[in-house]
Amino acid sequence: MKEQVANQDYCYFAVSDNDGLCGYIAVKPEKDSRFFLSKLYLKSDRRGKGIASEMLKRVFSEAEKAGKTSVYLTVNKHNDHAVNVYKKKGFEVIDSVVTDIGNGFVMDDYIMEYKL
Ligand SMILES: CC(C)(COP(=O)(O)OP(=O)(O)OC[C@H]1O[C@@H](n2cnc3c(N)ncnc32)[C@H](O)[C@@H]1OP(=O)(O)O)[C@@H](O)C(=O)NCCC(=O)NCCS
């Protein structure tokens, strides 16, 4: 995380509600017109309360502040809940990618995009 912030342009946001820290966001402006949403996490007991939609609003506003025209992310094809959340909030699947992570394992992801 420190390496990403120090040398790779990543920015992390801590997310809190009235009960304290409950999640985090990681984003990164690309060199082109895109904004990368790298991580969007909420503690399991704080899900389903509308916080994720507020987190995504913040991501979109950070992307606009950075002068970008779209936000993109990768999400595991089998992460049905996250895929449905992103679709509901206006993201579209634009591609898919399989990444070999060694020892016979692969990451099987969709690439999703939200146009600002
Ligand atoms: C992804 C994550 C942040 C979403 O947070 P959440 O609290 O579960 O999301 P919510 O249930 O509040 O849903 C967010 C929105 O999607 C909608 N939604 C949720 N499930 C839906 C479904 N099956 N179909 C359509 N819309 C759906 C909700 O109605 C809500 O929209 P609204 O606020 O406009 O009403 C959270 O589930 C999480 O941290 N998951 C583990 C980490 C993860 O997988 N992150 C993504 C990796 S890329």
Ligand 1 centroid, distance to 73 Cα (angstroms): 15
CATH class of 2-115: alpha beta
Q: Percent of the chain, pLDDT > 90?
A: 99
pLDDT digits (tens, 9 = 90+) for 43-95: 999 999 999 999 999 999 999 999 999 999 999 999 999 999 999 999 999 99
Q: Where are the domains of the chain?
A: 2-115
CB of 44 closer than 8 Å to CB of 52 = no
CB of 27 closer than 8 Å to CB of 8 = no
pLDDT of residue 108: 95
pLDDT of residue 20: 96
Please state the rounded mean pLDDT for residues 4-10: 96
**Which helix (H) or strand (E) covers residue 59, if one does?**
helix 51-65
For ligand 1, which residues put their CB under 6 angstroms from it? 40-42, 47-48, 50-53, 73, 75, 79, 81-82, 84-85, 88
Q: Note the pTM of the prediction, 2 decimals.
A: 0.96
Question: Minimal CA–CA distance to 51: which of 21, 6, 73?
Answer: 21
Mean pLDDT of the chain: 97
The ligand 1 atom at the shortest distance from the C-alpha of residue 53 is 33
pLDDT of residue 31: 97
